[in-house]
Structure 1
Amino acid sequence: MSHVTPEGRRARRQLTTQIKDGLRDLHNQLSALNRQVGGRLAIKDTDLDCLDLVNRNGPLSPSALARQAGLHPATMTGVLDRLEKAGWIARERDPADRRAVTVRALPDRGGELYRLFAGMNSEMDSICAGYDERQLELLAGFLRRTADAGQAASRDLATGD
């Protein structure tokens, strides 16, 4: 094992701090973007987050969606009521179990979201074009592990650990 100098440890701590600060900055900027999109569509931030989860992972049961969003089931009921009334989602009976309900996004509204996020998606394509495949794999893995860490931390807070 090689010896790491105090300067090397300090440089590593500084880089790690820059990454954490960058992730916080990214969170704040994406939150601001989501508020702008939500404002244009008259959707609350939490509702937009849940709509994104349904679009990406649906159809989902309301309880699975609540778990993924980190929301109380009673809160989820209000979110789904608002999204359904505005024509973003549909709640349907599960054909396998008529007592169960699934939530799915309505495809005819997806274009509105796509148009509002088009600028950011275009910018992301440009940024990613500057990286080779190996670098993109590294970044994708880092982001996946970071999201998993956030999910675990959220779950620990929710369970009181």
Structure 2
Amino acid sequence: MRRTTDPADRRKVLVETIPGALGEVEAAVVPACRRIGEVLADYTPEQQDLLFDYFARSAPAFRAATEDIRTATRERKRS
């Protein structure tokens, strides 16, 4: 992955994929995955099912809320 600054707006960071870099990304997230796995191991299978259901259902809700915020922000800017 390569990060550069948007020349038109230096507050923005542009991220682009680099072919063949997946191994580096995986290596970077392995420690987080291991620690999350340790946390989840303390829950029963039933509790894990509930957590995974929550994550699966809440992620789209957060994305939709983010889009709602973007839309409202655009509308305020136009007013």
How many residues of Structure 1 are paired with residues of Structure 2 in the alignment? 66
Higher helix share: 1
Any gaps of 5 or more consecutive residues in structure 2?
5-11
> How big is the shift at 1:113?
0.9
2:3 maps to: 43
Aligned to 2:35: 123
Q: Which of 61, 65, 78 is 1:153 aligned to?
A: 65
Displacement, 1:42?
5.8
What is the 5 A alignment of 1:126-145?
126-145=38-57
Higher strand fraction (1 or 2): 2
Structure 2 residue identity aligned to 1:133? P
- Give the fraction of aligned pairs with identical amino acids, expressed as a percent: 21
Identify the residue that residue 16 of structure 2 maps to in structure 1.
83
TM-score (norm 2): 0.62
TM-score (norm: length of structure 1): 0.34
The unaligned stretches of length 5 or more in structure 1 are: 1-40, 45-74, 89-105
Q: Structure 1 residue 136: deviation in Å?
A: 0.7
Distance 1:128 1:147 in 2: 18
Structure number with larger C-alpha Rg: 1
Cα distance per residue 1:70-111 (max 9 Å; x no partner) = xxxxx8xx83xx525xxx1xxxxxxxxxxxxxxxxx3x2111
Residue type matched to 2:28 in 1?
Answer: L
Deviations 1:105-161 (A, max 9, x none): x3x211101111111111111111111221111001112222222112112122228
The separation in 1 between residues aligned to 2:16 and 2:38, in whole angstroms, is 32
Counterpart AA for 1:113: V
